[in-house]
Amino acid sequence: MTAIHTSTSATENRLREEIAEIGRSFRNLGMAPGTSGNISAKLEDGWLMTPTNASLGALDPAEISKLDWDGNLLAGKPPTKESFLHRAFYEQRPDTGGIIHLHATHSAAVSCLNGLDEHSCLPPITPYFVMRVGRLPLVPYYRPGDAALGDAVRDYAADHAAVLLANHGPVVAGKTLEAARNAIEELEETAKLYLLLRQHDVRTLNEKEIDELRDAFGAQW
């Protein structure tokens, strides 16, 4: 049953529309097949979360779930069963404004590979990956919906704005929803490059070059 909430702020309405627009964009880019993936945004009195079994390409802004910080549904339809992934980041990263989890093809493919560096699944191939995503640790495999996955993500979230769930896909937090969107698109493109280059001798950024990105852009690597 859809919860009833009679009053919404201009900020909440704007974020509802933004979530729906971003969902359509991901679907058009082929990054959100079927009903996979979920998007959330922080409010002053709780947070917005895409509903369970919803296609990101066909979101009704009015039906997007609104939750309080105890997980109670205040408005909209029931939230995705993966909402605990988002809550883990919000609790550990107070400056987070938006979070996105996708099953995008290339990053999901990387998550299925053996032999990944668990401290950073993708190497520093481009400066944009270093600046927008940073180190991408691998979270061990848990079945979908297992609440223990939230506890595992929480262990990484304080020090990392993005993680890769083994055999699943990425979760990315940003200071704003737009920042999270840009970061996860950059992550997906880097995963694609990584897969294309796996049989080649790749030049990655060296420590001096990464230090320059830290100094100039505050890169978290």
| Residues that are catalytic | 82, 128
83 phi, psi to nearest 5 deg: -60, -25
Output the DSSP codes for 47-101. EEEPBTT--GGG--GGGSEEE-TT--EEEBSPBPTTHHHHHHHHHH-TT--EEEE
List the alpha helices (DSSP H) in the chain: 10-28, 83-92, 105-111, 127-132, 148-157, 177-197, 207-217
Say if strands 46-49 and 65-67 run parallel, antiparallel, or are unpaired: antiparallel
In Å, the largest CA–CA distance within the chain is: 59
| Contact (Cβ atoms closer than 8 angstroms) between residue 28 and residue 22 | no
Q: Which amino acid is at 221?
A: W
Distance in angstroms (rounded) separating the CA atoms of residues 131 and 56: 27
Say if strands 98-101 and 38-43 run parallel, antiparallel, or are unpaired: antiparallel
Distance in angstroms (rounded) separating the CA atoms of residues 27 and 58: 9
Q: Which residue has the tokens 């996955």?
A: 149
